[in-house]
Amino acid sequence: MDLIDAEESGALVIDVRSFGPERFSSRELSRLEFGARLLDLADDHMLPILDRCKFVAIFADMIDEFSRCAS
């Protein structure tokens, strides 16, 4: 079943084999990119301060785990 057939039937099915390896990044890069998004959210002054603190705490925990695994 290709993407067009899936759309006609109302279900969205994507064949991940068509993506190729260039569409996937390494686990470490993915974690660091996620950390960058967390810091962007923590820097958003439109969010409540408690939510911003939670993003920083999640980032700190993630970096701590990242450094433990890397060493």
Could you tell me the two tokens for 69? 């695994």
Neighbour-count burial for 44-55, b at 16+ CB within 10 Å, e otherwise: eeeeeeeebeeb
For residues 59 and 42, the answer to whether their CB atoms sit within 8 Å is yes
User: Please, which pLDDT band fits residue 1 given cuts at 50, 70 and 90?
Assistant: very low
User: Please, which pLDDT band fits residue 8 given cuts at 50, 70 and 90?
Assistant: low
What contacts 4, CB < 8 A, 6 or more positions away? none
Q: What is the pTM of this model?
A: 0.60
Measured between its terminal Cα atoms, the distance across the chain in Å is: 45
Look at residue 32 and tell me whether its pLDDT is greater than 90: no
